[in-house]
Amino acid sequence: MSDTGGQEMTAGRLIAVELDEASIRPSSPDVEHERAAAIYDLLEDNGFSPVGHPPGRYRLRLSIQDGRLVFAVADGEDREVVTHILSLSPLRKVMRDYFLVCDSYYAAIRSSTPQQIEAIDMGRRGLHDQGAAILRQRLEGKISVDSETARRLFTLICAFQRNA
Protein backbone atom coordinates (compact mmCIF):
# COMPACT_ATOMS: atom_id res chain seq x y z
CA MET A 1 0.00 0.00 0.00
CA SER A 2 1.26 3.53 -0.69
CA ASP A 3 0.44 6.88 0.75
CA THR A 4 0.34 10.08 -1.28
CA GLY A 5 4.12 10.43 -1.05
CA GLY A 6 4.74 7.00 -2.53
CA GLN A 7 6.03 5.69 0.78
CA GLU A 8 5.34 2.16 1.91
CA MET A 9 2.71 2.15 4.62
CA THR A 10 3.05 -0.27 7.49
CA ALA A 11 0.16 -1.62 9.51
CA GLY A 12 2.05 -1.66 12.79
CA ARG A 13 3.38 1.08 14.98
CA LEU A 14 5.74 1.74 17.83
CA ILE A 15 4.14 2.52 21.16
CA ALA A 16 7.35 2.65 23.22
CA VAL A 17 11.06 3.18 22.62
CA GLU A 18 13.73 2.51 25.20
CA LEU A 19 17.44 3.24 24.97
CA ASP A 20 19.77 0.87 26.79
CA GLU A 21 21.41 3.00 29.49
CA ALA A 22 24.67 1.04 29.29
CA SER A 23 24.93 1.86 25.57
CA ILE A 24 24.38 5.61 25.86
CA ARG A 25 27.48 7.74 25.57
CA PRO A 26 28.09 10.41 28.22
CA SER A 27 26.40 13.60 27.09
CA SER A 28 25.33 17.11 27.90
CA PRO A 29 21.82 18.19 28.90
CA ASP A 30 21.35 19.46 25.31
CA VAL A 31 22.06 16.01 23.89
CA GLU A 32 19.77 14.42 26.51
CA HIS A 33 17.03 16.79 25.37
CA GLU A 34 17.75 15.87 21.73
CA ARG A 35 17.28 12.18 22.60
CA ALA A 36 14.01 12.81 24.42
CA ALA A 37 12.71 14.91 21.52
CA ALA A 38 13.70 12.22 19.01
CA ILE A 39 11.79 9.57 20.97
CA TYR A 40 8.77 11.85 21.31
CA ASP A 41 8.73 12.58 17.55
CA LEU A 42 9.11 8.90 16.70
CA LEU A 43 6.23 7.85 18.95
CA GLU A 44 3.97 10.61 17.68
CA ASP A 45 3.95 9.32 14.11
CA ASN A 46 5.45 6.09 12.85
CA GLY A 47 4.91 3.00 10.75
CA PHE A 48 6.81 0.00 12.11
CA SER A 49 6.23 -3.73 11.54
CA PRO A 50 8.62 -6.64 11.98
CA VAL A 51 8.55 -8.62 8.74
CA GLY A 52 6.70 -11.91 9.09
CA HIS A 53 4.75 -10.80 12.16
CA PRO A 54 1.16 -9.60 12.33
CA PRO A 55 0.39 -5.88 12.34
CA GLY A 56 0.20 -4.50 15.81
CA ARG A 57 1.65 -2.31 18.49
CA TYR A 58 5.35 -2.78 19.18
CA ARG A 59 7.99 -1.76 21.69
CA LEU A 60 11.57 -1.11 20.60
CA ARG A 61 14.68 -1.32 22.73
CA LEU A 62 17.83 0.04 21.11
CA SER A 63 21.26 -0.90 22.36
CA ILE A 64 24.83 -1.19 21.19
CA GLN A 65 26.55 -4.55 21.62
CA ASP A 66 30.04 -5.21 20.31
CA GLY A 67 29.81 -2.09 18.13
CA ARG A 68 26.55 -3.20 16.54
CA LEU A 69 23.10 -1.65 16.73
CA VAL A 70 20.54 -3.98 18.32
CA PHE A 71 16.83 -3.62 17.58
CA ALA A 72 15.00 -5.71 20.20
CA VAL A 73 11.30 -5.71 19.33
CA ALA A 74 8.52 -6.76 21.70
CA ASP A 75 4.77 -6.71 21.31
CA GLY A 76 2.43 -4.36 23.15
CA GLU A 77 2.41 -6.67 26.19
CA ASP A 78 6.24 -6.65 26.24
CA ARG A 79 6.64 -10.21 24.94
CA GLU A 80 9.77 -10.67 22.79
CA VAL A 81 9.00 -10.73 19.07
CA VAL A 82 12.37 -10.52 17.31
CA THR A 83 15.85 -9.09 17.68
CA HIS A 84 17.88 -7.77 14.76
CA ILE A 85 21.54 -6.85 15.01
CA LEU A 86 22.91 -4.40 12.44
CA SER A 87 26.41 -3.23 11.76
CA LEU A 88 26.86 0.49 12.34
CA SER A 89 29.58 0.63 9.68
CA PRO A 90 27.27 1.64 6.78
CA LEU A 91 25.95 4.53 8.90
CA ARG A 92 29.20 5.78 10.47
CA LYS A 93 30.33 8.16 7.72
CA VAL A 94 26.93 9.77 7.23
CA MET A 95 26.50 10.04 11.03
CA ARG A 96 29.92 11.69 11.39
CA ASP A 97 29.09 14.15 8.59
CA TYR A 98 25.63 14.73 10.08
CA PHE A 99 27.16 15.58 13.48
CA LEU A 100 29.57 18.07 11.86
CA VAL A 101 26.82 19.77 9.90
CA CYS A 102 24.55 19.87 12.96
CA ASP A 103 27.35 21.51 14.97
CA SER A 104 27.78 24.07 12.17
CA TYR A 105 24.02 24.64 12.10
CA TYR A 106 23.82 25.26 15.86
CA ALA A 107 26.79 27.66 15.66
CA ALA A 108 25.26 29.44 12.66
CA ILE A 109 21.98 30.02 14.49
CA ARG A 110 23.84 32.26 16.92
CA SER A 111 25.77 34.37 14.43
CA SER A 112 24.96 33.81 10.75
CA THR A 113 22.55 35.31 8.27
CA PRO A 114 19.27 33.54 7.53
CA GLN A 115 20.60 32.61 4.07
CA GLN A 116 23.69 30.95 5.58
CA ILE A 117 21.57 29.10 8.11
CA GLU A 118 19.24 27.90 5.36
CA ALA A 119 22.16 26.63 3.26
CA ILE A 120 23.58 24.67 6.20
CA ASP A 121 20.12 23.33 7.02
CA MET A 122 19.68 22.09 3.44
CA GLY A 123 22.94 20.14 3.79
CA ARG A 124 21.79 18.77 7.14
CA ARG A 125 18.49 17.61 5.66
CA GLY A 126 20.30 15.95 2.74
CA LEU A 127 22.54 13.98 5.10
CA HIS A 128 19.50 13.13 7.20
CA ASP A 129 17.72 11.75 4.13
CA GLN A 130 20.83 9.78 3.16
CA GLY A 131 21.12 8.25 6.64
CA ALA A 132 17.43 7.35 6.67
CA ALA A 133 17.75 5.67 3.25
CA ILE A 134 20.73 3.61 4.44
CA LEU A 135 18.87 2.61 7.60
CA ARG A 136 15.77 1.64 5.65
CA GLN A 137 17.91 -0.44 3.30
CA ARG A 138 19.61 -2.17 6.27
CA LEU A 139 16.21 -2.98 7.80
CA GLU A 140 14.79 -4.33 4.53
CA GLY A 141 13.44 -7.84 5.01
CA LYS A 142 13.68 -7.43 8.79
CA ILE A 143 11.52 -4.49 9.84
CA SER A 144 9.21 -2.56 7.57
CA VAL A 145 9.33 1.20 8.17
CA ASP A 146 8.03 4.05 6.07
CA SER A 147 10.35 6.88 5.01
CA GLU A 148 9.36 9.26 7.80
CA THR A 149 9.83 6.57 10.44
CA ALA A 150 13.27 5.80 8.99
CA ARG A 151 14.11 9.52 9.27
CA ARG A 152 12.96 9.60 12.89
CA LEU A 153 14.86 6.40 13.70
CA PHE A 154 18.01 7.84 12.11
CA THR A 155 17.60 10.96 14.26
CA LEU A 156 17.23 8.79 17.35
CA ILE A 157 20.23 6.63 16.50
CA CYS A 158 22.32 9.77 15.97
CA ALA A 159 21.13 11.22 19.28
CA PHE A 160 21.81 7.84 20.89
CA GLN A 161 25.40 7.87 19.60
CA ARG A 162 26.06 11.57 20.07
CA ASN A 163 28.67 12.64 22.59
CA ALA A 164 28.42 15.73 24.74
**pLDDT tens digits, residue range 73-87?**
999 999 999 999 999
As a whole number, mean pLDDT of residues 18-42 equals 84
Burial of 70 (0-12, 13-18, 19+ CB in 10 A): middle
**31: which residues sit within 8 A by CB, 6+ positions away?**
159, 162, 163, 164
* Chain mean pLDDT for the chain: 88
Global confidence as pTM: 0.85
